[in-house]
Amino acid sequence: MSDPKIRVRFAPSPTGFLHVGGARTALFNWLYARKVGGEFVLRIEDTDQERSTEESYAAILRGMEWLGLDWDEGPGAGGDCGPYLQSERLDIYREHIDALRTDGKLYPCYCTSEEIKGRNLAKGEDAFAGYDGHCRELTTEQRSAYEAEGRDPSWRLRTPDQDSTFWYDIVYDKKEFPNSSLTDRVVLKKDGFPTYNFAVVVDDHLMGISHCLRGDDHVSNTPFQIHVYQALGWTPPKFGHMPMILGPDRKRLSKRHGATSVEEFAGMGYLPDAMVNYLALLGWSAGGSGDEVFARTELIKKFSLKKVNSSPAAFDYDKLNHINAQHLKRLEPAGRLRLVEPMLAERGWELDPAWLVPAATTSDYLGRVLNLLGGRFSNLLRVPEQIGFFFSDDFAVEAEASAEHLAGEETKTWLTGLAAKIEAAAPVDQAASVEIYDEAVRAFAEELDIKAGDLIHPCRVALTGTTRSAGIFEVMELIGAPRTVARLRGAAAQ
RNA sequence: GUCCCCUUCGUCUAACGGUUAGGACACCGGCUUUUCAAGCCGGCAAUACGGGUUCGAUUCCCGUAGGGGAUGCCA
């Protein structure tokens, strides 16, 4: 109660779509905030003028919304610490840059990155060996000389060479870097924009962020940022670095592994809840043994930063598919209906009273169909093909199924005979029940002296076009006697 | 090159220094049977390697190997 407010943030840069790695980082922040009753801030880090785009910004918001990760402060949500776009906070950064400059903690650097690389190479070092401190101790005359050449400086923070910098990471525990391995990084670019490493510190501090939870790729930025906090006279927040997500081959997750943006997953028929559930399982576990399929509320209840582990995790579609199927199966009938109804509208599928089925409206009918199919759905994208034959006679018949079960002349006679039996048994003006079909089929099988299955298998193909379906008598009930009879005759006539 | 990190079944992971190293996905088998799923039951499968410390290491330390990250006026 007396603890200072827990505030976390997700701070993507709008230079691409919302990547699953970023989404997972956002998710852990969100889960933590929701778990402890803290606040979740969304901030857009668009200090890279060249790469930041409006499209990307919009795509990231869409991705967050699709996942259902709502933010308490940020674009569209308001808040007392705005603006939440770094490009709109330039005067704030400028103010703190000026303060540091006045304190003599910054120095101008006139080098281009090519010059730095060139010098590293000349010294026999790797080109990426880092900044060599070339402008660190420039005299006033030297600076004037550079200025006279027309060079605009960037500004670097002077960091110590001795001792080391450490912090206690939520995930890694103690992390320590020798200061000798740190270079004086740029905090203010030539274009007047702050660098990420500066803006992130100013914003996290000014926005009252208590826990900075970010990707593992930021670990080695942290010591420099701690020096920025110190230069500004501020106390750093707690840091926690989340493990990376790798591709199935344990290489950095990239396009060649398939989908990497959350919107692609949306388009692939995954449920947001399933995606959230699966992502949470990458680098975190509820511990112990048992079920791993969690509703959002359960996830919040169970989540703990302490259980986030430090090893990178490989993305696994098999498990995602399983989690997705489980979520689809556990959906409330009303929720499932809401998801599927648009698919009907799209295809113009609706109930026809002539079918004589036990439902009054299209929605009722769909409800019964979905109820019958129940746990058979594993992916939203496959739903239309799974329910199509209930609504339309224009459904695909698998060639192999047809060849195996419908080709025989004998079979055709049976189906014709069965059609007549059903026609006789089913009322002409009302829906017939499962029992009527069941009896009709079994009685006819007995009459023919064949196994019920010998009749049932061809029926299934004739009625659904496949060899895989729910109980065939239930299917008959739901497609109705007129269509059942017609499809049996149609198959026999092939 | 330098700095940092990671390593338990194929994959995600659990395990106060003492467990027959547990669960989940995938895979295999069985049950059921009106097919396919689902479900239930069962099975296969791991502590990267080498040294220490310890009565006892998956667990602590060192090294090796493999993988990842950083080393940007990208974030």
**What does the pLDDT read at residue A299?**
96
**A40 assigned to some structural domain:** no
**A318 assigned to some structural domain:** yes
Final residue in a domain of this structure, among A351, A373, A391 = A391
As for how many domains chain A has, the answer is 4
3-state secondary structure chain A: CCCCCCEEEECCCCCCCCEHHHHHHHHHHHHHHHHHCCEEEECECCCCCCCCCHHHHHHHHHHHHHHCCCCCEECCCECCCCCCEHHHCHHHHHHHHHHHHHCCCEEEECCCHHHHHHHHHHCCCCCCCCCCCCCCCCCHHHHHHHHHCCCCCEEEECCCCCCEEEEEECCCEEEEEEHHHCCCCEEECCCCCECHHHHHHHHHHHCCCCEEEEEHHHHHHHHHHHHHHHHHCCCCCEEEEECCEECCCCCECCHHHCCCEHHHHHHCCCCHHHHHHHHHCCCECCCCCCCCCCCHHHHHHHCCHHHECCCCEECCHHHHHHHHHHHHHHCCHHHHHHHHHHHHHHHCCCCCHHHCCCCCCHHHHHHHHHHHHHHHCCCHHHHHHHHHHHHCCCCCCCHHHHHHHCCCHHHHHHHHHHHHHHHHHCCCCCCCCHHHHHHHHHHHHHHHCCCHHHHHHHHHHHHHCCCCCCCHHHHHHHHCHHHHHHHHHHHHHC
Same domain, A268 and A324: yes
Same domain, A373 and A405: no
Active site residues of A: 255
Note the CA–C1' distance, A126 to B6, in angstroms. Answer: 25
CA A109 – CA A138 distance, rounded (Å): 9
Same domain, A378 and A410: no
Size of chain A in residues:
494
Q: Which residues of A460-470 are buried (b: 16+ CB within 10 A; e: fewer)?
A: bbbbbbbeebb
**A157 assigned to some structural domain:** yes
Note the CA–C1' distance, A96 to B18, in angstroms. Answer: 56
Final residue in a domain of this structure, among A282, A311, A329 = A329
**A356 assigned to some structural domain:** yes
Residue ranges in chain A whose pLDDT is less than 50: 1-2
The range of the structural domain enclosing residue A336 comes to 331-391
Same domain, A115 and A220: yes
CA A236 – CA A204 distance, rounded (Å): 9
Same domain, A112 and A220: yes
Query: Which nucleotide lies at the shortest CA–C1' distance from A188?
Result: B73
Closest residue (CA) to C1' of nucleotide B1 is A126
Say which CATH number the domain at A148 has: 3.40.50.620
Closest residue (CA) to C1' of nucleotide B11 is A316
**A78 assigned to some structural domain:** no
Query: What positions of strand B are covered by protein, i.e. any atom < 7 Å from a CB?
Result: 1-8, 10-15, 22-26, 34-39, 67-75
Same domain, A151 and A284: no
Same domain, A99 and A141: yes
Note the CA–C1' distance, A442 to B25, in angstroms. Answer: 40
Note the CA–C1' distance, A110 to B71, in angstroms. Answer: 20
Query: Which nucleotide lies at the shortest CA–C1' distance from A180?
Result: B3
Final residue in a domain of this structure, among A288, A304, A329 = A329
Say which CATH number the domain at A301 has: 1.10.1160.10
Query: Which nucleotide lies at the shortest CA–C1' distance from A155?
Result: B73
Say which CATH number the domain at A432 has: 1.10.10.350
**What does the pLDDT read at residue A250?**
84
- Output the pTM of the full model: 0.94
Same domain, A318 and A343: no
**A282 assigned to some structural domain:** yes
Note the CA–C1' distance, A244 to B41, in angstroms. Answer: 37
ipTM, two decimals, is 0.95
**A486 assigned to some structural domain:** yes
Same domain, A178 and A315: no
Dihedral angle at the C-alpha atoms of A340, A341, A344, A349, nearest 10 degrees?
A: 130
Query: Which nucleotide lies at the shortest CA–C1' distance from A44?
Result: B75
Same domain, A316 and A287: yes
Same domain, A433 and A347: no
Same domain, A321 and A337: no
**A17 assigned to some structural domain:** no
